[in-house]
Amino acid sequence: MAVAVAVGVMWVTTPGVGDAAQRAAELDRTHGVLGPTTPVPSRFAAALIATENSRFYSDLGIDPVAIVRSGISVMKGRGEMGGATLEQQLVKQLYYSGQSAGVGRKAAQAALAIKLDASYSKRQILQMYAAVAYFGHGYWGLDAASRGYFGRAPGQLSWGQAALLAGLLQAPSAYDPLQHPELARARQRHVLARLVATGQLTVETAAIAASTSPESAGVGAPGIHQPGYLPSG
């Protein structure tokens, strides 16, 4: 109830999000990403949603189920379990980057996330999210990460590659496929398992994607030059 009241207050006091697309474009330019955002390929979109926000297409910017689950975890002393939707993550990137996340700030982010969902289509939200996301090694945006890690456009990513990139977003340094290949592979398998759990992949297809040797292909990040580290499957 307290959360609902806080979000309601923030709905009135927070600004609109009509400038979100402009903010995303400006952030892209800051990171050296040029050109308009493009539609997010289906494989990466599926991997991202299955892992980060499985109710993305049905939620209204926030996920009450995840919020309640996270709240129960906090009350039991286990710490937060996440619960941030893609809209909330995008709002944080566009409007609150680098700022502390107290209760008031989170309520404001939730209110803006609802506004974002009401103002933009899910396709547009995915485009903005993928364009400003950080994938490690100086790669901002899906296009740069896809070409930098695998030498191919996002639309050419295999299921294994899409899963690896989607898995990086939670912690790009911890799951760095060049510095921590085993952790990156474990994270990739988690994403593939989520794709199976959400009905996007069969067990067989996921197994094939997960079994590809990490030494099979890869271009490497700027200044790293370690081809042969990243999975091509």
Cα–Cα distance for residue pair 208/186, rounded to 1 Å: 15
Q: Topology of domain 136-233, per CATH?
A: Penicillin binding protein transpeptidase fold (1.10.3810)
Cα–Cα distance for residue pair 127/122, rounded to 1 Å: 9
The pTM assigned to this predicted structure is 0.82
Residues 27-84 pLDDT 10s: 888 888 766 677 899 999 999 999 999 999 999 999 887 666 656 655 666 555 557 9
Comparison of pLDDT for 193 and 68, the residue scoring more? 193
Angle in degrees, 0-180, between the axes of helices 159-168 and 142-150, rounded to the nearest 10:
120
Q: Domain-by-domain residue ranges, the chain?
A: 1-42+53-132, 136-233
Interacting residues of 18 by C-beta distance below 8 A, sequence separation 6+: 119
Residues 143-169 pLDDT 10s: 999 999 999 999 999 999 999 999 999
What is the pLDDT confidence band of residue 228, given thresholds at 50, 70 and 90?
A: very low
Cα–Cα distance for residue pair 56/37, rounded to 1 Å: 20
Residues 92-135 pLDDT 10s: 999 987 666 667 788 888 999 999 999 999 999 999 999 999 99
Do residues 158 and 232 touch, judged by C-beta distance below 8 A? yes
